[in-house]
Amino acid sequence: MYFCFEHHVAESLPKTHFVKSGKDMKKELKIFDNPRNVQRLLIGFYLSLAMLLASEFFIHKHASYPWENFFGFFGVYGFVSCVLLIFLAKGLRLIVMRKEDYYDT
Amino acid sequence: MIPSVLTPALVLILGALLVVFFRGRAKSAYLLLLPVLVGCLMLTFPQGKIITAQFWGYDLVFLRVDKLSMIFGTIFCIMTFLGVLFALQVKDDMQHVAALIYAGSTLGVVYAGDFLTLYIFWEIMAVSSTFLILASRTKEAKNAGYRYILMHIVGGLFLLAGILIYAQANSSLEFNYIGLNGLDSWLIFIGFALNAAAIPLHAWLPDAYPMGTPTSTVFLSAFTTKSAVYLMARCFPGAEPLIWIGAIMVFVPIFYAVLENDIRRVLAYSLLNQVGFMLCGIGIGTALALNGAVAHAFCHILYKALLFMAAGSVLHMTGKIKCTEIGGLYKTMPLTCLFCIVGAASISAFPLFSGFVSKSMIVSASAHEKMALVWLVLQFASAGVFHHAGIKVPFFTFFGHDSGIRTKEPPWNMLLAMGIAAFLCVFIGVYPAPLYSMLPFPVDYVPYTGAHVVGQLQLLMFGALAFALLILSGYYPPEIRSANLDVDWFYRVFFGRFLYPVLDKSLNGLNAMAEKRVLGIVGAGGKVLQGFITRVLLFFSVNAWMLMGYRGKRLELKKHKLYTDVQAGTLPVGLGAAISTLFIVLVYMIT
């Protein structure tokens, strides 16, 4: 898990290196340092997704296009859009990415 | 009644010049007072052309008040106040002055009813905003500012050429709806499009805006592009090219936004995407679409400023703003994080946030017109916006990997400015009626229907699911320190490295050759001419000196000095001007 991994990294580093004094440490929020909280957040997130799909049964659709009537159209479209976005962006990187100081030299 | 010469533009521009006379708290109070004053002034405006004048037979309208100019005037005024409040701790007076002049000239553009007034404020806007980019005083900012002003000068020239032809054809400088027909309208359109950062004239924006200071970028994000959107809505509603320009603009920049490492450049690309929605709405041109575009500009100014403020706060407190360098800042900047999330939710058009009530008008308008492809692109972009501006910006800044940076919340004025902007974002989202009542056309639109809310939430949340799964599985493209090529490559590299040497060799070679040939002929003529000019000068000068009472030796001395000055070419400019004036006076007296 991504978050757990970060948690271990944060644990393994010497804290005094980052934190100036004990007073500052008390002020810090650490809610996502605990992997269980991240887990809870994700579970809540997945539940809300299910509820969103379920709520489609209770609403009256007034579609402008026929495809809007398919069950979960917007969910699928949003998901596919974002996956497509990421993979196309990765492809774009092959074409447009240069070193950070490209324009300076 | 208002005093007959006070326009919002003048209040801010003249007010800006007095900033340097204030110190400490008085300066803070004065800076905040100016936009408040402008706001009060605007409340007193009746409808219509208020302040007019005559210039060379043309009618000038400094203040045209109707619903369209008022809503933009209002939001620019609010934005000026928020921007000033956010920048209150800045010690550099140059930034305050430039920002106020910039805001003032934008208001001048918005209220201008004729092209001459518009053009003058247009150029003031370009110059003053350049100073906001230069304010960082780094080498990169200097270079970016240079490219920025060059682009805007080019855009200004297009506009000027269009205006001249327009004025000739219509024998009037006043403007309203123009529409795309004929050369003049296209030239004006290109001038506006450059300021709106319409693709492919957009590259100056992501190039220059991230170079500003933490506070100046907030101003930059609000004014130039949105005043151009206003002009597009006034002059070119329903122009079909705008639909396609808009569709490309909502689509292409989001890929760059995904790849960019600098948070403020991510926001700059998402700015392009949002302006794309507005231009698309203006292109569709129905009452609903235009209302949507204007409402979206209003909301966008607030939440984009809010996001740039959050990024600016991070930069101000940590000195860093790249994804690879920051992360985990929610621990020590929870309030800034919260405000950033409100801005992110607004730009993503979450229900109950401002983007939802404005963007959906544009999307619905495209559906009413049965533009299926445009509709699909807009929906794709809506999911994409949430992806990069809604999730990526807060996630990589405040969560993500812990960068180890421990800092504090920014100063109170920055927090307050963000707080007000965040409040307005939520307020408009929850209760859009006041915004709708300000729109140029009567509004018959209900954003909160069951189908719409569920559809939008599904689109966004399943987009978020994609992000979560890609991050968890490691497929998400890692943030890399890099430069991503954009259209500006053509003038930064192609022109600089390839075209410039070619032009240098050919044109300068031509110059050198011409010089050799022409110099021989001119040189001989020049000698004769020089003697002639000296005699003319002496004739007029001696007359003038005698009038002034010079006699005898002093007159001789003066004559000698003038003679040697002319021969050496070191005549002071003032003397030349004085003599030409005298010449004109003499001519008048003789004729």
pLDDT digits (tens, 9 = 90+) for A78-87: 999 999 988 8
Of B126, B441, B162, nearest in space to B282 by CA: B441
A78 and B458 within 8 Å at the Cβ level: the answer is: yes
Element (H, E) at B49: strand B48-55
Task: Report how many Cβ contacts below 8 Å link chain A to chain B.
Answer: 164
Q: What is the pLDDT of residue B5?
A: 66
Please check whether residue A98 lies inside any domain of the structure. Answer: yes
Token output for B94: 């140059």
What is the total count of domains within chain A? Answer: 1
Please check whether residue A37 lies inside any domain of the structure. Answer: no
A79 and B465 within 8 Å at the Cβ level: the answer is: yes
For the stretch B565-575, pLDDT in tens is: 776 766 666 66
Q: What is the pLDDT of residue B351?
A: 92
For the stretch A15-49, pLDDT in tens is: 434 444 444 455 677 778 788 888 898 899 999 98
**Could you list the mean pLDDT of each consecutive 10-residue stretch along chain B, which spans 591 residues?**
69 91 90 93 81 80 90 94 93 92 95 92 94 91 91 93 91 88 92 92 91 93 94 93 93 90 92 94 93 95 95 92 87 92 94 93 90 90 88 88 85 94 96 93 89 90 90 81 81 78 82 80 74 77 79 82 73 66 74 62
A74 and B455 within 8 Å at the Cβ level: the answer is: yes
Spatial contact of B207 and B272, defined as CB atoms under 8 Å apart: no
Distance between CA A80 and CA B280 in Å, rounded? 23
A85 and B375 within 8 Å at the Cβ level: the answer is: no
β B58-65/B483-484 pair status:
unpaired
Please check whether residue A89 lies inside any domain of the structure. Answer: yes
Please check whether residue A68 lies inside any domain of the structure. Answer: yes
**How far separated are the first and last CA of chain B, in Å rounded?**
48
Alpha-carbon distance B462 to nearest alpha carbon in chain A (angstroms): 5
Q: What is the pLDDT of residue B526?
A: 72
Q: What is the pLDDT of residue A21?
A: 44
β A97-98/B48-55 pair status:
unpaired
Q: Is the ipTM of this complex over 0.90?
A: no
pTM listed for this prediction: 0.83
Distance from the Cα of residue B181 to its chain's centroid: 26
Among partner residues A74, A83, A99, which is closest to B458 by beta-carbon distance? A74
Distance between CA B270 and CA B308 in Å, rounded? 11
Please check whether residue A91 lies inside any domain of the structure. Answer: yes
Please check whether residue A23 lies inside any domain of the structure. Answer: no
Q: What is the pLDDT of residue A8?
A: 42
Exposed (0-12), middle (13-18) or buried (19+): which is B241, by Cβ within 10 Å?
middle
Of B339, B458, B317, B430, nearest in space to B393 by CA: B339
Please check whether residue B441 touches A, CB under 8 A: no
Among partner residues A20, A61, A62, which is closest to B406 by beta-carbon distance? A20
Among partner residues A17, A49, A93, which is closest to B477 by beta-carbon distance? A93
Backbone angles phi, psi at B404, to 5 degrees: 85, -5
Distance between CA B574 and CA B337 in Å, rounded? 60
Residues of the domain holding A103: 64-105
Please check whether residue A27 lies inside any domain of the structure. Answer: no
Please check whether residue A33 lies inside any domain of the structure. Answer: no
In terms of CA atoms, which chain A residue is nearest residue B380?
A81
In terms of CA atoms, which chain B residue is nearest residue A29?
B331
Of B166, B61, B71, nearest in space to B120 by CA: B61
Q: What share of chain B is helix, strand, coil (3-state, %, to 5)?
A: 75, 5, 20
Three-state DSSP state, B50: strand
A97 and B451 within 8 Å at the Cβ level: the answer is: no
At a CB cut-off of 8 Å and minimum separation 6, what does B50 contact? Answer: B2, B62, B63, B64, B65
Q: What is the pLDDT of residue A10?
A: 43
Helix intervals (H) in B369-411: 372-385, 393-398
Does the pLDDT value for residue A90 go beyond 50?
yes
Spatial contact of B282 and B229, defined as CB atoms under 8 Å apart: yes
Please check whether residue B470 touches A, CB under 8 A: yes
